[in-house]
């Protein structure tokens, strides 16, 4: 199974890849996650145009997630791989779930206006 997130990608697999191919995969995951994070941020910014109240709500949630993730990112290189393996998916899920909620709300608002 593969877990992905905006701030720090982690490939979860049951097999160990050679270091060079794993590094290439990590770089590809990082690029993909950065692209997804940028898209999420753009959609959050567009939300402001359709509903300032929704934007304010989601922006506060974004800031809370960003603060928690930044704190984790400060220490992740100092903790063991086994702990990172357990913790990273939780952070990644929070970000993906948040971006899904933003996209869903924006879709609702854009479609409502189109009616």
Q: CA 105 to CA 85: how far, in whole Å?
A: 31
Q: What is the pLDDT of residues 14-53, one digit of tens each?
A: 334 455 776 677 677 667 777 888 999 999 999 999 999 9
Predicted TM-score of the model (pTM)? 0.71
Task: Return the DSSP state at 15.
Answer: S
* Domain chopping of the chain, boundaries: 19-114
Q: What is the pLDDT of residues 92-106, one digit of tens each?
A: 999 999 999 999 999
Q: Nearest-CA neighbor of 100 among 24, 20, 2, 5?
A: 5
Q: Residue 87: pLDDT above 50?
A: yes
Average confidence (pLDDT) over 66-74: 93
Between residues 16 and 75, which one has the greater pLDDT?
75
Q: CA 40 to CA 45: how far, in whole Å?
A: 9
């Amino acid at each position: 199974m593969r877990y992905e997130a905006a701030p720090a990608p982690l490939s979860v697999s049951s097999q160990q890849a050679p270091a060079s191919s794993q590094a290439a995969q990590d770089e590809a995951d990082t690029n993909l996650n950065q692209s997804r994070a940028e898209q999420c941020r753009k959609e959050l910014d567009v939300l402001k145009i359709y509903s300032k109240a929704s934007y304010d709500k989601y922006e506060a949630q974004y800031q809370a997630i960003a603060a928690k993730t930044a704190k984790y990112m400060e220490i992740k290189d100092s903790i063991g791989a086994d702990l990172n393996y357990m913790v990273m998916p939780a952070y990644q899920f929070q970000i993906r779930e948040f971006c899904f909620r933003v996209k869903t709300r924006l879709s609702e608002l854009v479609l409502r206006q189109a009616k």
